Structure 1
Amino acid sequence: MSEPDRTALLSALPYARRLARALTGSQAKGDAMVADALRGGVSGAAGEAEARLALFAAVARVAGSQPEEPAAPLTRTERLLLLLTSLEELDLEDAAGVLGLDADLARAMLASARERLRAASAARVLIIEDEPIIAMDLQQLVESAGHEVVGLAASEAEAVALADRTRPTLVLADVNLGHGGDGATAVERILSRHAMPVIFVTAYPERLLTGSRVEPAFVITKPFEPTTLAVATFQAVTRGVPIGAG
């Protein structure tokens, strides 16, 4: 691999990790999937944009070699389409190309998958966000996706106390809580007492996707569209395991 290709792939790695972790619901399984994709070879990685698409395609091939889960609410291809177009913000044509699908077929599959998002099991969500307006916006988005918000926490201490009292089935956490502490630390304290999936919201997702330490399985980028939150919540509810779990 030439040096420009290596540089492009290194830039694309955090996003491939995000895709694979969200697909599997696990940091360990997602990162192992990316490692298998790299070992299998990545072609067409001349620039950063091309490298990202090529690495996504390699991850999809590895995922496709694994058995389909019986009775899953969505097929693996449907999940990948949702994740590629929402979490990774690809246009439909690029997402279809990554998965080797005809664009019209991909469009129909995506529409069907979006219709079934609300049919997934509803979550009881704790939102950790120090900005009141953003917290209320998140609450509205979560509730519009069919989930229940059990509490809004503006600080680390409040988040831990609310988690103890309400026993949520999903946590949606901002990383930076300003003077209220650190969202990641709040989550660590909560998960030391209760097991549940967590979605982190951050303006700098690559900082949580290095693969060099215990990191989240679900990361979405600020600002985000309502569909992105709906897809991430769906994946966390149906595939989620606690941060750092296998």
Structure 2
Amino acid sequence: MSLAAEITPYIPYLRRFARALTGAQSSGDAYVAAVLEALITDSADFPKNHGAKIGLYQTFIAVWQSIEVNLKMNVLGAESNPGSEKKLQAITPAARQAFLLTTVEGFTNAEAALVLKVSQRDIEQLLDQANKEIAAQVTTNVMIIEDEPLIAMDIESMVEDLGHSVTGIARTHKEAIALFNAHTPGIILADIQLADGSSGLEAVNEILKGFEVPVIFITAFPERLLTGERPEPAFLVTKPFQPDMVRALISQALFFSEGDESRAA
């Protein structure tokens, strides 16, 4: 199998990682493009010892770390904003990489250590550091769009455990629009396919026409969202989900949102 065929299935997920790391899809894609160009130019040095996925992420990290400023501070793309930059300064680059690799990309600690070329003990220390830095960040009001009562209750509990408040739970497109208009949230957690056959994605698109708010989609249909298309910003959790991943993405989405603490009111 060619190298292109081996790495192609992982490129959408690398784009997700790059977007979270840089704070904007366009700047994240620029790094992904640089990785692919490097591999086209010379694929002989591609690390294959631990499989194509780890090798692809290792190559990305090597490109990222080759730019010295990325090792010292968080530099966001042109689509980002001062609010995001201020919040991201609280998360050191190495800790955020470890955090994203394990909680968002699904690497084990051992795999993340391979990607970052550090020891497992180093990864554990970086994750502990990230958790402490994340805990110090902003809390906000959360709107949930979910038609399955048990899942909605689980999400509500996770949100409240993080110190956020829940404005309400909507089960349909119509309920989602009404809930948003009644209580403007700082973040939305949304399913795609709702109880009455309506679309959570369409509800979110309608909301985003008149208001900027970070969105996390919790869905059994990830292929509908791993396209780089709008709505933006958007983060993704695949059902059945891991609670740690939801908690991680809530923090990440809030870091990259335009609003600051004023949204928590």
* TM-score in terms of structure 1 length: 0.87
Counterpart mapping for 1:5-154 below 5 A:
5-41=3-39, 43-44=46-47, 50-64=51-65, 65=67, 66-67=69-70, 68-69=73-74, 72-154=89-171
1:108-155: per-residue Cα shift (whole Å, max 9, x none)? Answer: 111221233221101211111111111111000111112111121111
Once the two structures are TM-superposed, the CA of residue 45 in structure 1 deviates from its matched residue by 5.1
Q: Which structure carries more relative contact order (alpha carbon 8 Å, separation 6+)?
A: 1
The aligned length equals 237
Which runs of 5 or more residues in structure 2 are unaligned?
A: 75-84, 260-265
Q: Indicate whether 1:159 and 2:176 are aligned.
A: yes
- Counterpart CA distance in 2 for 1:187 and 1:215 is 8
Percent of pairs identical after alignment?
Answer: 37
- Counterpart CA distance in 1 for 2:63 and 2:250 is 24
Q: Note closer, same or farther for the CA distance 1:19–1:174 as it changes in structure 2 (3 Å cut).
A: same
The range that moved more, 227-236 or 70-79, is: 70-79
**8 Å CA contact retained: 2:47, 2:58:** no
- Counterpart CA distance in 1 for 2:215 and 2:122 is 32
Q: Note closer, same or farther for the CA distance 1:200–1:55 as it changes in structure 2 (3 Å cut).
A: same
Once the two structures are TM-superposed, the CA of residue 59 in structure 1 deviates from its matched residue by 2.7
The range that moved more, 36-45 or 175-184, is: 36-45
State the one-letter code of the partner of 1:181. Answer: S
Which runs of 5 or more residues in structure 1 are unaligned?
A: none
How much is the aligned-residue C-alpha RMSD, in angstroms?
2.2
- Counterpart CA distance in 2 for 1:171 and 1:117 is 19
Query: Could you say which residue in structure 2 is the equivalent of 1:236?
Result: 253
